Amino acid sequence: MREQYVTVAGEGVHETEVNRSRFICALAPAATEEEARAFVARVRERHADATHNCWAYVIGADAGVQKASDDGEPGGTAGAPMLQMLLRREVRYAAAVVTRYFGGVKLGAGGLIRAYGGAVGEALDALGTVTRRRMRLATVTVDHQRAGRVENELRTGGRDVRGVRYGTEVAIEVGLPEAEVDAFRSWLADATAGTARLELGGEAYGT
């Protein structure tokens, strides 16, 4: 697994204008290729009257799935530069659609490449990105008496708390950077007088 990757902070839209053509870039996080395709379809429907709805998406922390479409623009002038911008910024699990409303001035191949790639770059800057880091999933099991304080300290300390289950004891699921597992184990022992249990699980990505 990669140590980290970047994705878009949330779904959003950013508009730019180049020689009277409007370029509207819609971005969204997408966990799967199906989610990416559904997002593209929604944007295409919203802008069914547009000259072009070009798109690109990257799925997988290792960018295993990369797809792009020029949607009628000259080959390689729209989808490819959009995809390259996502890859250059190390953006993963994300989809981009750039909608163009033609303004009457032809841009030429170079102008189109700059406009479509630039629209994605400006949208990423405007809408923001988040970094997801590789985490070791762990379960903290603690008695009810101490659970509230432990959970509160985890959250206020910025830990990636992923869930809390209540039973005869309380199980708190957290994501930990691999390098911090030993230090976390020591902290937990001190915080609970050695009464809590820490069980390590698989890996996932978290903030």
Structure confidence at residue 1 (pLDDT): 65
> Pick from 78, 94, 127: which residue ends a domain?
127
The number of domains in the chain is: 2
pLDDT tens per residue across span 112-137: 999 999 999 999 999 999 998 888 89
The low-confidence residues of the chain, meaning pLDDT below 70, are 1, 207
> Pick from 127, 143, 170: which residue ends a domain?
127
Q: Structure pTM?
A: 0.76
Do 51 and 78 belong to one domain?
Answer: yes
Do 58 and 105 belong to one domain?
Answer: yes
Do 116 and 142 belong to one domain?
Answer: no
Do 32 and 106 belong to one domain?
Answer: yes
| Domain hosting residue 19, numbered range | 4-127
Tokens of 72: 């009628």
Residue whose C-alpha is closest to residue 204's, from 93, 111, 104, 124: 93
Do 95 and 187 belong to one domain?
Answer: no
> Pick from 78, 96, 127: which residue ends a domain?
127
* End-to-end Cα separation, the chain, in angstroms: 15
Do 21 and 109 belong to one domain?
Answer: yes
Do 179 and 198 belong to one domain?
Answer: yes
Distances in Å between the Cα of 194 and the Cα atoms of 43, 60, 134 are 54, 39, 27
